[in-house]
């Protein structure tokens, strides 16, 4: 989907709780082996001892409004995304976020597409702004808290650890004021046959946590792989990652070797997953440097996408006119790739290159 140069991300923010769980402690507790820890490639995971997921999303949303210097009344739409429990049952966390940031008259709704929902919400924000000239700005938020007893952030899934965070982005039609990014394009690709991977071996249940009493993604995945093998998924995943990169660059009017493309930010998955699924495609397609920001956060669910935009802004030397790609994927499965550019009118403080 091509957006042109006037769809802007005014600012993006991440909010992390102060507490951390270290990988060494997870190994000592018997949750991980040393080889598991090496495959994850994370030093620690942030965890929230007190705040719920939508409260962290609201923290990020308020920070975005403050950083932009905007009144909450400028926001006409709030899109909130998540993958895990939001603190109450049969309840609307998007309405909570809208109220908590002071945008109580904005229209709120939830966006659900697994861990890819952060990118999908950004796409929907652009579509709403295209369709409604009277819409001033859209606030996109994500929030997840992966805490016991429903989840174990180290062992609920293969190849990744889950970190708690809230993220937010303000999206609008650009003016003469500085913005963090212009959103040039965003492409998606889906192969829904893999929804079976997330439930293989289990019947449909009448209530949450029915099968195991906690979120166990390993058991259905193991059952699925025993029945179908992993080669098919890896092949199709690689094809669709290649497709979203190709399509997003085409819609942005860029060739893969365009020298303006400086970076591509990868999902905050375990190191072994990135090496096996994403690495071969990127090595073949792009000269841009691949960025991995997850070593100190783990996987943030829907928050990976926006958190990567924050870290690219703050931690790498992007200059006005430079282009970067942000790629994501969500179980069941959909992949996405966005092409963003630093607008010419956006001042930069020339950060030095850092270990990311």
Domains of the chain in sequence order: 7-180 (3.40.47.10), 182-341 (3.40.47.10)
Backbone angles phi, psi at 141, to 5 degrees: -130, 155
Handedness of CA 116, 120, 121, 122 (dihedral sign): positive
Alpha-carbon distance values, 78 to 57, 103, 291 (Å): 11, 8, 29
Q: State the Cα–Cα distance between residues 265 and 126, nearest whole angstrom.
A: 21
Closest to 270 measured CA to CA, from 295, 304, 249:
295
Both structure tokens of 222: 């193991």
pLDDT higher than threshold 50 for residue 353? no
The 10s digit of each residue's pLDDT in 148-182 is: 999 999 999 999 999 999 999 999 998 878 999 99
Q: Are 184 and 2 in contact (CB under 8 A)?
A: yes
Backbone Cα Rg of the chain: 19
3-state SS, residue 263: strand
Q: What is the mean pLDDT of residues 38-65?
A: 97
Q: What is the dihedral of CA 261, 233, 43, 48, to 10 degrees?
A: 100
Helix axes 117-131, 304-315, angle to 10 degrees: 90
Q: What is the DSSP string of 185-226?
A: EEEEEE-GGGGGGGTTT----SSTTTTTSS---HHHHHHHHH
The 10s digit of each residue's pLDDT in 254-268 is: 999 999 999 999 999
The 10s digit of each residue's pLDDT in 204-231 is: 999 999 998 899 999 999 999 999 999 9
The confidence score (pLDDT) of residue 346 equals 61
> How many Cβ atoms from other residues are within 10 Å of residue 66's Cβ?
11
3-state SS, residue 144: strand
The confidence score (pLDDT) of residue 175 equals 83
User: What's the angle, vertex CA 327, arms to CA 324 and CA 328, rounded to 5?
Assistant: 155
The residue whose two tokens read 């965003």 is: 186
Alpha-carbon distance values, 153 to 37, 72, 159 (Å): 13, 34, 11
The 10s digit of each residue's pLDDT in 190-209 is: 999 999 999 999 999 999 99
């Amino acid at each position: 989907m091509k957006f042109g140069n006037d769809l802007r991300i005014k600012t993006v923010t991440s909010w992390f709780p102060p507490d951390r769980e270290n990988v060494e402690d997870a190994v000592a507790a018997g949750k991980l082996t040393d080889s598991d820890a090496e495959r994850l490639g994370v030093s620690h995971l942030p965890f929230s001892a007190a705040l719920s997921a939508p409260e962290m999303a609201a923290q990020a949303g308020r920070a975005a409004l403050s950083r932009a210097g905007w009144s909450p009344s400028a926001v006409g739409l709030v899109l909130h995304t998540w993958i895990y429990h939001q603190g109450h049952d049969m309840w609307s966390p998007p309405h909570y976020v809208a109220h908590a940031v002071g945008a109580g008259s904005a229209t709120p709704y939830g966006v659900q597409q697994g861990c890819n929902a952060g990118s999908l919400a950004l796409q929907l924000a652009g579509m709403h702004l295209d369709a409604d000239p009277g819409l001033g700005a859209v606030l996109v938020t994500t929030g997840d808290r992966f805490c016991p007893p429903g989840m174990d952030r180290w062992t609920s899934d293969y190849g990744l650890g889950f970190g708690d965070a809230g993220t937010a982005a303000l999206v609008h039609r650009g003016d003469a004021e500085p913005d963090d990014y212009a959103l040039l394009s965003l492409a998606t690709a889906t192969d829904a046959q893999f929804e079976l991977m997330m439930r293989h071996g289990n019947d449909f249940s009448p209530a949450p946590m029915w099968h195991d009493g906690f979120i166990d993604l390993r058991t259905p995945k193991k059952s699925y792989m025993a029945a179908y093998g992993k080669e098919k998924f890896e092949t199709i995943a690689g094809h669709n990652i290649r497709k979203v990169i190709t399509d997003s660059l085409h819609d942005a009017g860029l060739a893969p070797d365009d020298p303006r493309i400086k970076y591509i930010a990868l999902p905050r998955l375990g190191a072994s997953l990135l090496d096996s699924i994403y690495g071969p495609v990127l090595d073949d397609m792009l000269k841009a440097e691949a960025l991995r920001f997850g070593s100190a956060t783990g996987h943030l669910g829907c928050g990976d996408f926006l958190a990567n935009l924050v870290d690219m802004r703050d931690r790498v030397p992007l200059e006005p006119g430079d282009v970067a790609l942000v790629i994501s994927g969500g179980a069941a499965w959909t992949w996405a790739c966005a092409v963003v550019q630093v607008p010419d009118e956006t001042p930069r403080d020339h950060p030095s290159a850092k270990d990311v």
